[in-house]
Structure 1
Amino acid sequence: MTTSAPPRLLELAVQSLLSNEFLAIGALEELPAELFPPLFMAAYTRRCSKILKAMVQAWPFACLPLGGLMTDHQHHHETLQAALSGLDVLLSQEVRPRRWKLQVLDLRSNAHQDFWTVWSGTKIGVWSLMEIEAAHPIKKKPKVNGFEAHSVQPFAPVKVLVDLCLKQDRNDELLTSLMKRVRQKKDLLHLCCKKLRIFAMPIHNIKMILKMVQLDSIQDLEVNCTWKLSTFGNFAPYLGQMRNLRRLLLSHILTTPCSYPEKEEHYVNQFTSQFLSFHHLQELYLDSVSFLKGRLNKVLRCLKSSLETLSVTNCLLSELDLMHLSRCPNMSQLRDLSLCGVSLTDMNPEPLRVLLERAAATLEDLDLDECGITDSQFIAILPALGLCSQLTTFTFCGNSISMAVLQNLLLRTIGLSKLSHVLYPAPVESYDSNQGILHLGRLAQLHATLKQMLNDSGRQAVVWFSANPCPHCGDKTLYDPEPILCPCYMPL
């Protein structure tokens, strides 16, 4: 017969407090700080709204990471409203409570996970009060003749941290509630957002929400909207206020035939000039942005920091754009470069070769899928590829490359010790020359040849081939070493 371990003294104390709501609330002023996290977790689980409301007002730490507990959507609203009501009471007081230390209410679900697991005893480790205060330092009161000054000091605003996803027809009770409170207490409550994602939503709704957000708190922005250039021009001034951006993704910004070309140019300049505010930008993703051709230099010359990631995908570029890119001083520390879906077929490969050479010391991931690169172009950039000593991943499917050039690639990159993931295009020899149908027997032979070359060099023999997309279903046949066929494939 097995017996369960007796409850710990801490658990007994929490149970005792929760059994009497008035006792729990009355004891908060004298409760040791170490008891607050386990008591808060228990009150949250049991939906003790009045206790939660009172605990927010007496919270003894600088940060309350409530988002780490919000895993069950069914009682988010009730418990969240209790916490926000406690914050309302706190901010409405003319005299600061004795134990008020709360500066940040963090509602992000993926932040401070260790805080609750350590305090609950489910994780081995020590989260000391000193560490918590170091993460969110408290400004000490000024001293007069060795004593703390008790003159009335203006309240520092409490920050509410959230990750926002703006999407049409999405019922977001949290955002609605927060906006109402920020509107009422604008000087005392700041809505901060580290990550912002924008999907299909009327631009006037987006602007209304952004007026409530501290825009300089945004570090990660994704705009996944099919916007006309004029709409994007209306959004651009808000973009410029996000001066602490680290990551920016723009997708499907469209141009439409315009009777006044100068207007189109005005909108482009309005967008590119915002980059002058981004002193910390590290990652830039531009996907299906239709106005880039001939204008990439407008973006590049406004960059204020060296990029670690540049992804320009499914965009039309000119040879002059590539030349500007290869000469841009902010590209010398690239770790991740993607030009997937950018047609390079008729372009001089020299700018791409120069770009790879300049980033050779840092480049780790390179994506040249669906670029229409030919044998002669690929041969021109092979020497630069061989210099990329940090390269770990290289993919260049969807290009018409012969088996001879792939063998040359292996010889050039055999010394790259970190290169472990390469996705090769199925060589042109593996297709039927008349109908362009993939011939699995030939592909198997070519696969075996490359694999043997790797074995002979003492490298791990992992070779992945990717065929052209199926004209019927769009899927690709993969080969390693057995084929993963698209549903439409018919053997010869």
Structure 2
Amino acid sequence: MKMSIQTPPTLLVLAAKRLLRDQASAITALEYLPAELFPDLFVLAYRSGHHRQLLKAMAQAWPFTVLPLGVLMQRPPDHAPTSAVGLKAVFDALDVLLAQEIRPRRCKLRVLDLRNTGANFWNTWCRDNAWHCSLTGPVTVHSSSPNMEHPLAPLEVFLDLNFNERDRDKFSMHIIQWAQQREGLLHLCCKAVRISGVPFQRVRRVLDGVQLDCIQEVEVNCTWDLPTLGTFALFLGQMSNLQRLCLPHIQLLEEMEWEEEQRSFSQFLSQMLRLRHLRELDMRSPSFLRGRLDQMLRCLQTPLDKLSITRGQRLTHSDLTHLSQCPNLRQLKILHLFGLSLSDFSPLQDPGLDHCGMTGSQVEAILPALSRCHQLSLFSISRNSFPVATVEKLLRHTSGLCSLEVEVYPVPLECYRTQGTVDQERLALIPAKLTGILRELGRPRRILLTTKHCRHGSFVTWHFHDMEPVMCPC
């Protein structure tokens, strides 16, 4: 026999459930209900799908400055009708509030948050185990960008633009059109744009209707051609407060003429020049930058905090040389170089590991830049193929970076047999050798060495701290 012990509902939940039995009486009582009861009552009414008038009345009397509705909307598809009822009730309430010159006495609502945030608000107020939000991110600060050129409206609506196969853009278009019809009464703020596997025309239709200087984050997780990137750049250049940019994989078309390709690339660069607040740049498989990475780096208007280059890009020796010389990369806090495949460099030393990336000679190109990144806190160059001598050079070049907290290096080539398996006896000699180097440099370091374990696919990791090697589980 299995027994389960459930925490009994709180008095607030019991009171909210009692109010739901008589919707008319609940609406009348809103003027006198304590603010602590509103969240539980709102969640129960929203989940039921049968208390539209109560939801409308509660939104008009909302005793908090923020109504984080977006997190309540993240429900399975079979609950879509329930979500639609709750959303319409709130928007009807906003129409009433916007039409009034004087707000109701209890209403403190200033922000409607339709993003997938606000879990902490509901988890704080709704302590009943029947309602627990698994989305535990902190409540995002609700404020428009300080550099935006518009006066803040009495009501702000926050919305993330998520383009995916679930036709999320149709919902966004509905909100955008609703906001446009009430221009001057509210401000629609879209801070994040995420694009995954949808035709660009769908993206363009939505972006045409929003204020682009609100956007602070753009993430593209799909494949575009260079002309599409050039067209998107026309929108990108208007995102004057953009702080994080994740570029898509760009497919170079063989039939494209060189003039057209260069025109699209130049259009992209001209708009990058307008991003004066960019702090994070993530380039995934940017084969279109081969041989012209320097042109893009010259477009950076401010020092970056984070640079990530991943997924087997075919960069050249010249590209890495320019990477090491760019002045706006000297204040990096995080640098990720993962899975590079550099065809213009010398061949890999071990044919069995040629899929892992950088060799010792390739690492030499980034050492000058690395030694000047005094704000760097994390440096990872694991799963590459170079000898212990290169690891030693990296340790010496990073010894002056006082902000560096974690360093991740690959187990050296000397530890691998010809067939690509790890020689445990050779591997056991590495910690003592590197510990001697760290003692010579005279500063405790947190160093991680990783190698892929062939049979289990796990990682073997050593941790060097206080200049003593310790084996760590992965």
Q: Structure 2: 5+ residue runs without aligned partners?
A: 130-138, 145-150, 347-354, 463-470
Kept in 2, the 8 Å contact 1:67–1:107? The answer is: yes
Where does residue 99 of structure 2 map in the other structure?
A: 94
Where does residue 432 of structure 2 map in the other structure?
A: 452
TM-aligned CA deviation for residue 246 of structure 1: 1.3
Correspondence list, 1:233-248, <5 A: 233-248=230-245
Counterparts of 1:26 and 1:235 in 2: how far apart (Å)?
A: 51
Count of aligned pairs: 424
TM-aligned CA deviation for residue 6 of structure 1: 9.3
1:52 paired with 2:52, answer no
1:398 paired with 2:404, answer no
Report Cα offsets for 1:334-356 as digits up to 9, x if no partner: 012233344457569xxxxxxxx
Code of the aligned partner of 1:106: D
Deviates more, 1:308-317 or 1:415-424: 415-424
Kept in 1, the 8 Å contact 2:155–2:185? The answer is: yes
TM-aligned CA deviation for residue 270 of structure 1: 1.2
Kept in 1, the 8 Å contact 2:331–2:376? The answer is: no
- SS of 1:108's equivalent in the other structure is coil
Identity over aligned pairs, percent: 36
Kept in 1, the 8 Å contact 2:282–2:307? The answer is: yes
1:36 paired with 2:24, answer no
Where does residue 105 of structure 1 map in the other structure?
A: 112
Of 292, 295, 298, the residue aligned with 1:298 is 295
Where does residue 148 of structure 1 map in the other structure?
A: none
TM-aligned CA deviation for residue 411 of structure 1: 7.4
Kept in 2, the 8 Å contact 1:339–1:371? The answer is: no
Code of the aligned partner of 1:108: R
Q: Structure 1: 5+ residue runs without aligned partners?
A: 124-131, 138-153, 349-368, 485-492
Where does residue 120 of structure 1 map in the other structure?
A: 126
Correspondence list, 1:322-361, <5 A: 322-344=320-342, 346=344
Kept in 2, the 8 Å contact 1:466–1:476? The answer is: no
Counterparts of 2:295 and 2:194 in 1: how far apart (Å)?
A: 25
Deviates more, 1:202-211 or 1:67-76: 67-76
Code of the aligned partner of 1:103: R
Counterparts of 1:135 and 1:380 in 2: how far apart (Å)?
A: 40
1:62 paired with 2:60, answer no
TM-aligned CA deviation for residue 249 of structure 1: 0.4
Kept in 2, the 8 Å contact 1:243–1:277? The answer is: yes
Code of the aligned partner of 2:198: M
- SS of 1:304's equivalent in the other structure is coil
TM-aligned CA deviation for residue 382 of structure 1: 9.2
- SS of 2:191's equivalent in the other structure is strand
Where does residue 194 of structure 1 map in the other structure?
A: 191
1:278 paired with 2:275, answer yes
Using structure 1 for the length normalisation, give the TM-score.
0.71
The change in CA–CA distance for 1:379 and 1:325 in structure 2 (over 3 A counts) is closer
Kept in 2, the 8 Å contact 1:91–1:188? The answer is: no
Deviates more, 1:97-106 or 1:325-334: 97-106
Code of the aligned partner of 2:451: S
Counterparts of 2:338 and 2:169 in 1: how far apart (Å)?
A: 35
Correspondence list, 1:144-223, <5 A: 156=153, 158-168=155-165, 170=167, 174-175=171-172, 177-179=174-176, 181-182=178-179, 184-188=181-185, 190-223=187-220
The change in CA–CA distance for 1:438 and 1:372 in structure 2 (over 3 A counts) is same
Correspondence list, 1:372-387, <5 A: 372-374=358-360, 378=364, 381=367
TM-aligned CA deviation for residue 202 of structure 1: 1.6
The change in CA–CA distance for 1:33 and 1:302 in structure 2 (over 3 A counts) is same
1:229 paired with 2:236, answer no
Code of the aligned partner of 1:340: F
TM-aligned CA deviation for residue 52 of structure 1: 0.9
Code of the aligned partner of 1:104: V
Supply the RMSD in Å over aligned alpha carbons. Answer: 4.3
The change in CA–CA distance for 1:370 and 1:337 in structure 2 (over 3 A counts) is farther
Code of the aligned partner of 1:466: T
Counterparts of 1:380 and 1:86 in 2: how far apart (Å)?
A: 54
Kept in 2, the 8 Å contact 1:309–1:335? The answer is: yes
